Amino acid sequence: MKRNGLKYGVLVLLLAVVAYNSVYFRKLDEVKAKGATSKFDAAAYAEAFWKTKLLPDSGKAVELIALIQQLKTDKDKAFEAHSHALSIGNLRYFLVRGTGKITAIGDHDVTVMLSNGSEITIATEYVFGNAARDASGLISLTEFDNTMDLNNVSAELNKIIRNRVVAPFKASAKTGQQIRFIGAVELNREHLHTDAIEVIPIRI
């Protein structure tokens, strides 16, 4: 009887030790701090992408005049060769470059005449959307845990453009001025309008 009681006592002790080692407590501040440090930093990602990928890769942008001509003659080939997008749909994004003369300065954009006589606009007020993020094709969906992080990267890139590209451009732009630009363009594959192209500037 005593032997059974001893065995029972040892069993209870072992269970207590296992239970003690399986349950632990952490301070709430430690949990919050860990959560804060692991949170996705969209601003840091956008900054790194801007400096190490987008600007260095901007030299690969397609000449806008050539793109417009190809869109008119072989739309499908132009989209397949030069456009990118992270989602399925008709909206596609192009990384473009060009030169031209400023013909008008408006409240929301600057009109530029290209050397072939075509006119495009450079956005100077409403810089939003995913054009700057997607045009280069250098970002992959697999890099992100959720769409919110992906959208926040777009917002941060657009903020960089507004502060570092648009602001100094607006301050110095003059009618008749010749400029060179690199930027992102959003086009709808099914409802294409090559006579109303707006460029989100990346470098001017």
Biggest distance spanned by C-alpha atoms of the chain: 106
Residue 151 · residue 139 · CB < 8 Å: no
Q: How far apart are CA 92 and CA 152, in angstroms?
A: 19
Spell out the domain ranges in the chain: 41-203
pLDDT for res 9: 53
Pick the closest to residue 129 from 161, 82, 98, 99 (CA basis).
161
Q: Residue 135 pLDDT more than 50?
A: yes
Pick the closest to residue 188 from 90, 51, 103 (CA basis).
90
Secondary structure letter of residue 26 according to DSSP: -
Q: Residue 32 pLDDT more than 60?
A: no
Q: Residue 192 pLDDT more than 70?
A: yes
Q: Residue 25 pLDDT more than 60?
A: no
pLDDT for res 23: 45
Q: Residue range 19-36: average pLDDT?
A: 47
Domain range 41-203, CATH class: mainly beta
H/E run at residue 69: helix 64-73
Q: How far apart are CA 3 and CA 80, in angstroms?
A: 82
Contacts of 118 (CB under 8 A, 6+ apart): 65, 68, 195
Q: Residue range 159-184: average pLDDT?
A: 97
Q: What is the percent of the chain with per-residue pLDDT over 90, rounded to a whole number?
A: 78
